[in-house]
Chain A
């Protein structure tokens, strides 16, 4: 996908892969992964963030001169927004978005880039936005307010295997997320109860009230997931000839 291969290159790669033992251009065995680097907390304004790069990107500067480029790099960040929910819904949802930097795909035209973005978004979205995975502590006031977790990812470079990189970055960003703790408040005044539409006061008081924290982050991990399943869910088997050799 990133580079156009001539027929000679294709036949060279194919014949090396078909030989016994299979040979790959960088000497890896068919089951080897390139070195993975994960950093969390890269975006200070986000509720959680992570950067994953597969293959050398920062450290191996001398390899960037090669045609194949450094590695695949993806940054994911989580922002939480307060959202109203209907009475019958559980509350809380995870919304994913993938955007591709044009620098990562210099040969793709703009509509093709948009299509690629929406394809990757729907793949990641179908895995992570599944209702069975929605974490329970995204609810603030049951039946009225909940957090909407917006997970945005940007692909900065693509040297193959971008889906694995995206999944790793999303998972790392979700693990890094800290949900501000809230307390719901009732008005004791004569008529009003929590069903008042201008409920936004409740949430603010929960956070900035006298006895609660002014800083909205807690060191304990507040978001609860079953994380081990992420790799296996939502498999889409696609024929991709462009994976690195």
Chain B
């Protein structure tokens, strides 16, 4: 066994260890066929709480069934780089907790962290008025506590990030809501979980600003027909209006309960 990189800062587990193998899980396509406990066009109920991290300028915690993540916003603060930039910068960093996935993830940054960070960045960057913050940086830190599919993380991350930015009082054009969909054949299901994504042909993630009826990010991967992709986008946009209402409600109630 090759000597793994010795991480002195943490208590390392045994060098060779394997996650337990569960007996019942291998259902293949059955993950799709099995009845969801909600309709094909229903999303999982969202619990969204802004203002959880007291030392950050703004924060939000979002929980939808098995996807849980926390987002903290610091900023606008001075850019460390010396180059002058007229527009502010938005920096999104995503970290998956080691216990967030079925198999333990090493606490190092890897490609999936960056992919989620870029998708969230793309979703929210057009909603922030960056021209008002020259020479400044807004940092958004997302920690994924429980991961049930990358698409769910990206969608929930965008929602949490937008809520945290509003909680921090940063000027924005609108709140960004996001929804994902998976396609198998002709059937479209919104807000898929990891099993459904693995059994699907393709997925679409859409982020939009319902207040302005404008789309900020569309990400489609896998085998989806053009018609199917457009239909997914329409369904997601409809759902995003509902998500937007949830976000607005949670921000209003957190402000109302502040002294």
Pick from A130, A237, A239: contact of B222, CB under 8 Å:
A130
Q: Mark out the residues of chain A between 198 and 245 whose CB falls within 8 Å of any chain B CB in the assembled complex.
A: 229, 232-239
Chain B residues near A239: list those with CB within 8 A.
Answer: 122, 126
A119-147 vs B, CB cutoff 8 Å, 1 = contact: the mask equals: 10110001100101100000000000000
Chain A residues near B221: list those with CB within 8 A.
Answer: 126-127, 130, 233-234
* Nearest CB of chain A from residue B170's CB, rounded to whole Å: 20
Assess the B126–A233 pair: CB atoms within 8 A: no
* Interface-lining segment among B6-14, B56-64, B96-104, B212-220: B212-220
Chain B residues near A126: list those with CB within 8 A.
Answer: 221
Assess the B218–A238 pair: CB atoms within 8 A: no
Q: Mark out the residues of chain B between 172 and 230 whose CB falls within 8 Å of any chain A CB in the assembled complex.
A: 201, 217-224, 226, 229
Task: Indicate if B255 sits at the interface (CB-CB under 8 A).
Answer: no
Task: Indicate if A115 sits at the interface (CB-CB under 8 A).
Answer: yes
Given known A115-B114, A118-B114, A122-B111, contact A130–B223 (CB-CB < 8 A): yes
Chain A residues near B114: list those with CB within 8 A.
Answer: 115, 118-119, 122
A133 to B201, CA, bound (A): 11
A122 to B115, CA, bound (A): 7
Assess the A229–B218 pair: CB atoms within 8 A: no
A233 to B115, CA, bound (A): 17
A4 to B205, CA, bound (A): 32
A229 to B122, CA, bound (A): 25
* Nearest CB of chain A from residue B63's CB, rounded to whole Å: 27
A239 to B224, CA, bound (A): 22
Given known A119-B118, A132-B201, contact A236–B111 (CB-CB < 8 A): no
Given known A118-B114, A238-B122, contact A132–B218 (CB-CB < 8 A): no
Interface size class of A (residues with CB under 8 A): 10 to 19
Assess the A121–B226 pair: CB atoms within 8 A: no
Assess the B126–A236 pair: CB atoms within 8 A: no
Nearest CB in chain A to that of B222: its residue: A130
A210 to B218, CA, bound (A): 55
* Nearest CB of chain B from residue A48's CB, rounded to whole Å: 23
Q: Mark out the residues of chain B between 79 and 121 whose CB falls within 8 Å of any chain A CB in the assembled complex.
A: 111, 114-115, 118
Central interface residue in B122, B217, B218, B222, by most chain A CB within 10 Å:
B222
Chain B residues near A233: list those with CB within 8 A.
Answer: 220-224
Chain A residues near B226: list those with CB within 8 A.
Answer: 232
Assess the B223–A132 pair: CB atoms within 8 A: yes
Given known A130-B222, A132-B223, contact A237–B115 (CB-CB < 8 A): no
* Nearest CB of chain A from residue B26's CB, rounded to whole Å: 8
* Nearest CB of chain A from residue B83's CB, rounded to whole Å: 10
Nearest CB in chain B to that of A237: its residue: B218
* Nearest CB of chain B from residue A85's CB, rounded to whole Å: 16
Nearest CB in chain B to that of A239: its residue: B126
A122 to B112, CA, bound (A): 9
Chain B residues near A229: list those with CB within 8 A.
Answer: 223
Nearest CB in chain A to that of B224: its residue: A233
Pick from B111, B126, B218, B224: contact of A121, CB under 8 Å:
B111
Chain A residues near B126: list those with CB within 8 A.
Answer: 239
A121 to B114, CA, bound (A): 12
* Nearest CB of chain A from residue B251's CB, rounded to whole Å: 27
A104 to B223, CA, bound (A): 32
Chain A residues near B122: list those with CB within 8 A.
Answer: 238-239
Chain A residues near B222: list those with CB within 8 A.
Answer: 130, 132, 233-234
**Knowing that A115-B114, A236-B220 are A-B contacts, what are 10 other residue pairs whose CB atoms are under 8 Å apart, sorted by A's residue number?**
A122-B111, A126-B221, A127-B221, A130-B221, A130-B222, A132-B201, A132-B223, A233-B224, A235-B220, A239-B122
Sample (22) of A-B pairs whose CB atoms are under 8 Å apart: A115-B114, A119-B118, A122-B111, A122-B114, A122-B115, A126-B221, A130-B221, A130-B223, A132-B222, A132-B223, A232-B226, A233-B222, A234-B220, A235-B218, A235-B219, A235-B220, A235-B229, A236-B219, A236-B220, A237-B217, A239-B122, A239-B126
Residues of B participating in the A interface, judged by any CB pair closer than 8 Å: 111, 114-115, 118, 122, 126, 201, 217-224, 226, 229
Interchain residue pairs A-B with the least CB separation, the first 7: A234-B221, A126-B221, A122-B115, A237-B218, A235-B220, A132-B223, A118-B111
